[in-house]
Amino acid sequence: MSEITLEITHPTLAPGPLQGFNFFWAFCVKGFRPEVHCQPCFRGSVSPQLNSKTVQSGRLYVMDERRTFPFLYVCGVGVGPKNLLYQKNFHLALRPEPGAREVRETYNGYTITVENAVALPIPELPEGWNGLNRETTRCKNFRFGVEYFGWNPTARSLPYSQQPT
């Protein structure tokens, strides 16, 4: 299987720590916790090589640790007032696919180039969906979990391999 690679570049900034993000990480996702939102709703692990402490532009990340995870989720939380973060946050849900290529740009000009993975859509949820608050139903991490792992609040968190087909 071809490894997913991820490269972060900027046309005018020198390689180094990412600017304009409070957090930036890749998460190897293997399940979903529907009782919470944001990063805690994911089952799996944050990549030790691409996380808020280590992420830098100008280098290639070989996401070899994701062999046991069906999805890789890249997320960046921008800086600024909370009510405006939706304009700055970066979300890229990925499924491995040899030979596929995705190129996305952040709000502040970083280019994220991914090889050997395809981007997955993250559908909207209507406000008030299943009686949940707006913060939860607007959270893209949570919406990803609902779409790819299903919504079953009584089962809580089935691993991907045990999801109904």
pLDDT digits (tens, 9 = 90+) for 5-15: 999 999 999 99
Identify whether the C-beta of residue 57 lies closer than 8 Å to the C-beta of residue 38.
Answer: no
Could you tell me the residue ranges of all domains in the chain? 5-152
Q: Please give the pLDDT value at position 158.
A: 45
User: What is the C-alpha separation between 137 and 41, in angstroms, rounded?
Assistant: 12
| Phi, psi torsion values for 29, nearest 5 degrees | -95, 130
Q: What is the pLDDT of residues 37-92, one digit of tens each?
A: 999 999 999 999 999 999 999 999 999 875 678 999 999 999 999 888 889 999 99
Residues 6+ apart with CB under 8 A from 28: 44, 45, 46, 47, 63, 65, 66, 68, 69, 71, 72
Tokens representing 106? 């952040």
**Beta strands 21-32; 111-119: pairing state:** unpaired
Q: Please give the pLDDT value at position 154.
A: 66
Model confidence at 161: pLDDT above 50: no
Q: Please give the pLDDT value at position 79.
A: 94
Q: 19 by DSSP, 3-state: which?
A: coil
**Percent of the chain scored above 70 by pLDDT?**
91
Q: Please give the pLDDT value at position 141.
A: 97
Q: Please give the pLDDT value at position 155.
A: 52
